[in-house]
Structure 1
Amino acid sequence: MKLIQLKPLTLGLMAACLLVAGGLVLLALQPAAADAVAPSATSKPALTVTLTQARAGTLPIKLTANGNLAAWQEASIGAEASGLRVQELLVQVGDRVQRGQLLARFAPEPVQAEVALARAALSEATANAAEAAANADRARAVQGTGALSAQQINVYLTQELTAKARVESAKAQLDTQLLRLSYTRVLAPDAGIISSRSATVGAVLGAGTEMFRLIRQGRLEWRAELTSSELSQVAVGTPVLVTAPGGAQTQGRVRMVAPTVDAQTRNGLVYVDLAAPKGGSAGNAATGVAASFKPGMFARGEFALGSSSAMTLPHSAVLVRDGFSYVMRVGADNKISQRKVQTGRRLGEQVEILAGVAAEDRLVASGVSFLTEGDLVRVVDASATLSKEKSTPAQVAPGQAASN
């Protein structure tokens, strides 16, 4: 086998080609390496943020409960005489009535006939009594003369007493019929609102049959259900804000706390009088809120139990994620660290922070949902930004400037 001998010139050319190829490879790799290093060396802030800090303040202490709306008291208005026919009904459900107002009439003719008979009986008894009194006077005049026997004189005197008793009985009968005649007019026993009407025109009712139901004085109350432990926090006179299902609200005050607790549910009732509307009185409280508050409704209320100190943050600084609350803390290097916090009461745009934040912590004021752990941010002064915007003159459109 023969060995091929390469000339020195050929070897030189091959070495030069290898060097050139290596240089080209290095030149191709250099931009990629530079691109890989650039982001870490020149990383940009993820977001421009303003800062806030937890502040000490005062928040109200409120106790929320649910319950039913009901009438303060309901009066049952019914027929007081039996066998009378309803002639006229003068009020409808929802009407406001005053004490003594006429609500219905019964046909008075049968009772008027009874009154006429009673008057006639009284007149007859009065005439008989006058005759008996005259006979008794004559008997007394001749008593002791022997003109009349003692037995006959006693008869005349007894007839006089009997006639007087019959006059009193006739008067009582007349009074009874006059009272029945007054029962033909059904009057409101108190001011209030008619909540139901069961009578119909033409019906013959028995004594005691209910015709109307009346919400006395138009007063409504909210009956809140509280647990055994919550009842001790509420006292008579505590102010309450009651909210109807439609969103309407009215003020109220605790009238009474139930003295017992239900053995099954372990809940007790708190009775809250609803306030009258502005310019009204307690007598028309239900009328003022009738459009939104009606007996039988289920309503929600808040008992105002005072206030206490609290550490608060703006609502925009708190992020709720997966059922937990977080804030974004900005470190000295302007990098974000996510912190889990425990929230409490809310008042407007402020949220109470119970744990997880210190007073000196620098926190992102808004836009927290766009940030994650380790993000780099640029911090700006909110007050400076606001003053700059105020100092910038407003641009006026040419047409507007001409009109001015």
Structure 2
Amino acid sequence: MNARLQPFVLTIAAALLLLGALTYSARAADPEPAEAPRPALTVTVVQPQRMAIPMRIAANGNIAPWQEASVGTEANGLRLAEVRVNVGDSVKRGQVLATFAPETVLAEQAQIKASVAEAEAALAEAAANAQRARDLQTTGALSAQQINQYLTAERTAQARLEAQRAMARAQQLRLGQTRVVAPDNGIISARSATVGAVLPAGQELFRLIRQGRLEWRAEVPATDLGRVKPGQAVEVIGASGSRLAGKVRMVGPTVDVQTRNGLVYVDLASSDEARAGMFARGEIEIGSSQATTLPQSAVNLRDGFHYALRVGPDNKVSQLKLKVGRRLGDRIEVLDGLPADARVVASGGGFLGDGDLVRVVQAANAASAPTPAPAQAAAPAGR
């Protein structure tokens, strides 16, 4: 290298090294800005709402007939000739259910008719003799004793005729008893009638559920009986899960000394799902009360406790421990632990933890949720 150029090259190299050192120092002094935290989840929020929740008493019991009628025979010693109905048949008042063989009754009736005719002839003869005795009473042709005998014979013949006519009416009634008829509208629930059987009077042939009406006999603790009144609405759930509407008809006047439960008699609406003898559970609506509620999707169950996630002004969630009560449809009553103005994560809280950042999206119906239908069952959350 030329000796004259060497100092100039060294000067340029030193300048480049100095420029690089200054650039590195500037970058070290001014670091890049940190990346902003990202929301963990996009959520919708809801606020607690006040609504009327029915107050109900839960009970268990059996479904039974409202009233049963025992249909038997009044005829004695007759053979059952025909049975026209079976278990489960609906019958009308006065409908013929069974018939007995009438031959014996008809023969006796013919015999009595002949006796009536004989008594009528005897009465006619006695009446004629008595009339002649009356006509001769003033002439002295007959003694007073003979006249009295003719008059007495007339009265005796009249009495015998009345007795025979009474027997004829009784026999006519017995002939009517050969037809067994339904005493009321209803459903045949039992049958013991067998064709060909010779039965004594009073033997039960059928059992009838009067008017097809069923009732639920709910066993209610004595402490709750005072709150149950006739006319209150009832929802009964059968063994198959079918729901039946009912109404309290009567509260039993006594309490069982063993169980300390009283019976509440509930009239049930007509339904093909209900059967006499079925076990059913239900709830008696005794009124309603105002309560603070949340959607059930907003309440999470963890370790046996109920929680909701509150969204703060900074869009961070905090966990609230709640005390809950009754359920109504898709809503749940909150008894304690929830501020009235709190914004709560509507759903998906199980994927969030305390302190997570969320992005809030206002739902179209979050501000005013519809009130559930009163016909849905309300029950304590712990059930």
Q: Shorter-chain TM-score category?
A: 0.7 to 0.9
Answering whether residue 57 of structure 2 is matched by residue 77 of structure 1, we say no
Q: Which residue of 2 aligns with 1:377?
A: 357
Counterpart of 1:141 (choices 135, 139, 147) is 135
Q: Which runs of 5+ in 2 are unaligned?
A: 1-33, 367-383
Answering whether residue 235 of structure 2 is matched by residue 241 of structure 1, we say yes
Aligned-partner SS, 2:255? coil
User: What is the distance in 1 between the residues matched to 2:172 and 2:160?
Assistant: 18
Q: Which residue of 2 aligns with 1:327?
A: 308
Cα offset, 1:379, TM superposition: 2.3
Kept in 2, the 8 Å contact 1:192–1:214? The answer is yes
Q: How does 1:219-368 map to 2 (within 5 A)?
A: 219-275=213-269, 285=270, 289=271, 291-368=272-349
Answering whether residue 141 of structure 2 is matched by residue 151 of structure 1, we say no
Aligned-partner SS, 1:80? coil
Moved more, 210-219 or 139-148: 139-148
User: What is the distance in 1 between the residues matched to 2:125 and 2:363?
Assistant: 111
Answering whether residue 88 of structure 2 is matched by residue 90 of structure 1, we say no
- Residue 264 of structure 2 aligns with an amino acid whose one-letter code is V
Kept in 2, the 8 Å contact 1:88–1:106? The answer is yes
Q: Which residue of 1 aligns with 2:196?
A: 202
The CA deviation string for residues 94-114 of structure 1, in whole angstroms up to 9 with x for no partner, is 111111111110000000011
Q: How does 1:181-196 map to 2 (within 5 A)?
A: 181-196=175-190
Q: Which runs of 5+ in 1 are unaligned?
A: 1-39, 276-284, 387-404
Cα offset, 1:340, TM superposition: 1.6
The CA deviation string for residues 335-375 of structure 1, in whole angstroms up to 9 with x for no partner, is 4332221111212211110011111223221111122334x
Q: How does 1:98-109 map to 2 (within 5 A)?
A: 98-109=92-103
Q: What TM-score results when the alignment is normalised by the length of structure 2?
A: 0.83
The CA deviation string for residues 220-271 of structure 1, in whole angstroms up to 9 with x for no partner, is 1111111112111111111112222222222221111111111111111111
- Residue 362 of structure 2 aligns with an amino acid whose one-letter code is A
The CA deviation string for residues 266-312 of structure 1, in whole angstroms up to 9 with x for no partner, is 1111111113xxxxxxxxx3xxx1x3101111112222223221111
Aligned-partner SS, 2:363? helix
Identity %: 59
Structure 1 pair 384–106 and aligned structure 2 pair: CA distance change class (3 A): closer
User: What is the distance in 1 between the residues matched to 2:100 and 2:307?
Assistant: 73
User: What is the distance in 2 between the residues matched to 1:227 and 1:163?
Assistant: 71
Cα offset, 1:384, TM superposition: 7.9
Would you tell me which structure has more helix in proportion to its own residues?
A: 1
For these two proteins, the number of residue pairs brought into alignment is: 334
Q: After TM superposition, what 4+ stretches of structure 1 lie above 6 angstroms from structure 2?
A: none
User: What is the distance in 2 between the residues matched to 1:108 and 1:384?
Assistant: 80
Answering whether residue 99 of structure 2 is matched by residue 128 of structure 1, we say no
Aligned-partner SS, 1:218? coil
Kept in 1, the 8 Å contact 2:250–2:264? The answer is yes
Aligned-partner SS, 2:253? coil
CA RMSD of aligned residues (A): 2.0
Aligned-partner SS, 1:260? strand
Q: What TM-score results when the alignment is normalised by the length of structure 1?
A: 0.79
Q: Which residue of 1 aligns with 2:29?
A: none
